[in-house]
Amino acid sequence: MRNTILFYIILAPLALLAQDYDISSKVIDSQKKPVSFANVILLKAKDSSFVKGVVSENDGSCKFSQLDADHYLIKVSFVGYSDFYSEPINLKNSVTLSPFVLKDSPEFLDEVTITAKRPIIQNKVDRMIFEVENTVVSSGTTYDILKRTPGVLVNQDVILVRNRPAQVYINDRKVYLTSQELQRLLEGFAGVNVKSVEVITTPPAKYDAEGGAIININTSKNLSIGYKGSFNASNTVGIVPKYALGTSQYYKTDWLDAYASYTFNSRFDTKTDEGFVQFYNPDGSEKATWEDLFERDTRTFSHSLNTILDFTLSEKEVLSFSANVLHTPKADSDISGRTEIYNAQGELDSLYITQSELNTDRDNLLFSLNYKKQLGEKGATLAALINYIDYTDNQTQSVNTRYFSAQNTLLNINAFNTIPTQKSQIYTGQLDYVGSLGSLSITSGVKYSGINSNSKQEFSIANGSINQDAILNDNFDYNEDIYALYFSFEKEWEKWSFKAGLRGEYTDANGNSRTLGVVNTQEYLELFPTFYILNNPSDNHSFGFGYSRRIDRPRFQSLNPYRYFLNENNFLEGDPNIQPAIGNKVKFSYTYKNKLTFNLYYDHIENAIARLPFQNNQDLTLRGLNTNLNFERQYSLDIIYSEFVTNWMWMSIYSSFFNMKNEFKALEDTSNVQQEINSMLLQTQNYFILDSSGTFTSTVTLDFLSNYLLGSYKYDNPQFAVNFDLQKTFLDGRLALTFSSEDIFNTRNIRTTSQYRNQNNSFLAMPEFQTIRVGVRYKFGNFKLNDNSRSTNATEEDRLIVE
């Protein structure tokens, strides 16, 4: 019965029959000369949504064929002219319209001629949209645009929204790699191809219920036929250098869009960590203090290939095939550590030195097939998507530790090897329908995700024999099936916008640690409602409210109990009994003139997943455990302001005043521990136009974060950073040279401390935040075309990789 109802909800519009009409016209300039190769776009009059586009012929003529009876608008654009918009067209029969007249339009600001427009911020019922197409902000890379988007913070290479990691989508398709790989991916996407950035703090039902806030990057749609390509290169120097080389090629005919890009990254990264652990006796007196110094040098080679083929089967049908390959044959780390052990009197008692090698070979393959068809006379669409992901991660690790007395006498040597591997396969299929029901716009869909993952670890001592200790050796199988069904509707009337939806996800998961004999079976059905409403009483004011319920499922490696060793006394391990986390989010908002926005948030997550450090005062060990908190809660007041303050300077200020609190179980005595902070985040972004043509630009960004709560860790001091970017374009935009300096004053590295009861440990991680990067990009062919480049990563891929 339920399948029958779903069938009618999704496929009923197929019964509608369409009538075909034509719209013809001509594009001319103010001297009545024909304008060829202008972009002519047909829009729905109701909401300005895209219907189709054509390019004017040599004589300026243009024509839209096989149209349904409806209300339309036409937009015409061409470089050097103002955009033209037609009057509303009530199409009941084929028509020939009067010529579209384009007017010259360099935009004059006092005596400075700016060819790029100002960025615009729109507040919708469930998201903030930062429109950057053809603006001064789009001159850099896509990663640069994200760093300049109000409400988005890049902190230690992690992209945050409302102080929590955000999921990144491109054209509503999930992208997930490690933070560093995601940065490299977005740095390879030219900002000129970005239309807008959507910051979705409370995602609606159409998105998977997994995760928190979403950043959706919308790329421009290409209308013109032709070929373009580009080469780019960059070199980044911190303590050691890293460089990237890439190329992208794009070709379009009237039935095929073909896109391919390749990037090679060679990186040499160095990182220094300072650690501190104070151990205690049962009576609470100090037992010993350990001070660590670790240095890690990592050499990485990676190859990424992204290819997309879009086939236009008819006016209303498109079939797409895409492949995304990330091959990392080399990610080799040399780790050296020195730990000094002091007694209760502060005297050096002993020390040990650890040498470790970690070699990684990783492959991530994604293949996707997508079919989309327009249905009926009202522009309804039906889309089907199939994904297959294959992920392989092979590692080898050797650890050698030498123990010395305070007098530097060798006391003992301990050496062992580990061989962890992971093989995961994911299959997804989904069917989505978008249409209308009376005055309501409706969206519905179904999705299946099947996940099979196997992780193994083999532990051996120095002589090569296998250690049979189950906690050191593991064979972990994980299988998961998720069935999802969702429905949402929205309506706009007068000064109100309303949107509501419901998503149901049934999960059947099984984690089996064969060596430990631990089986974790989870079978549950969860409902995820969403609700949004927006009121615009005037052009200057808007008020909004939103609510959503979300889920965080553990990553596969977080469930695996095997150990990754920093040294034999300091290691990381997973927990096969981790439960999914459920979050409820509420948002109130007010916006004045689309320039000044106030957002008030409440965010509460039950069973929040985090990595917690626990020290064993008896065995003198420190372990990081992936596990559940009891809860995590946050209140936040965010204030955002952005505007051109002068003709040559655009400024954005983002401030957040928040309270964070969590509670977790102390493994030492099973009691509950609560942590709480009050903090402030301040971010300013200043964009400068340095010449009259707008081809020479600069950006200065300042970030300040007074405190932060990450599991049981808190910042010891505020974090502060200043970044500087410079870009100059030549040859009518074909050649771009860039210079960037990150963390100019080297103030981003902050010690974090976990201190409660008989736990007192801290670390100061010092990666290469302070860097200088120079880059060059050259475009050839008809480089002003916009390509069909986009992400092809599926949502489930985000739980494959542990950073």
**For residue range 310-331, what is the model confidence (pLDDT) as tens digits?**
898 988 899 999 888 888 898 8
749 SS3 class: coil
8 Å CB contact between 246 and 263: yes
- For residues 200 and 140, give the distance between their C-alpha atoms in angstroms, rounded to a whole number: 23
Which residues, 6 or more positions from 801, have their beta carbon under 8 angstroms from its beta carbon? Answer: 176, 177, 178, 391, 555, 557
8 Å CB contact between 581 and 552: yes
8 Å CB contact between 562 and 420: yes
8 Å CB contact between 25 and 59: no
- For residues 132 and 642, give the distance between their C-alpha atoms in angstroms, rounded to a whole number: 13
Calculate the alpha carbon distances from 85 to 40, 55, 99, 367 in Å: 10, 16, 12, 40
For residue 793, the model assigns a pLDDT of: 45
For residue 192, the model assigns a pLDDT of: 62
The H or E element containing residue 557 is: helix 556-559
pTM for the full predicted model: 0.74
For residue 462, the model assigns a pLDDT of: 64
**Amino acid of residue 332:** D
What number of other Cβ atoms are within 10 A of residue 476's Cβ? 25
Q: In what order do the strands lie in the sheet with 609-616?
A: 563-567, 570-573, 621-628, 609-616
Query: What are the average pLDDT values for consecutive 10-residue runs of the chain, which has 803 residues?
Result: 40 44 89 79 80 79 86 81 83 89 56 42 72 63 74 70 76 64 64 78 79 79 66 86 86 85 88 93 91 92 87 89 87 92 92 92 88 81 90 89 92 88 88 87 92 84 54 78 93 86 93 74 91 88 91 77 74 84 92 86 92 90 90 92 80 89 84 93 85 82 89 91 88 84 90 93 89 86 55 46 39
For residue 117, the model assigns a pLDDT of: 44
For residue 9, the model assigns a pLDDT of: 38
- For residues 277 and 762, give the distance between their C-alpha atoms in angstroms, rounded to a whole number: 7
pLDDT in tens, 110-121: 333 333 344 566
For residue 212, the model assigns a pLDDT of: 74
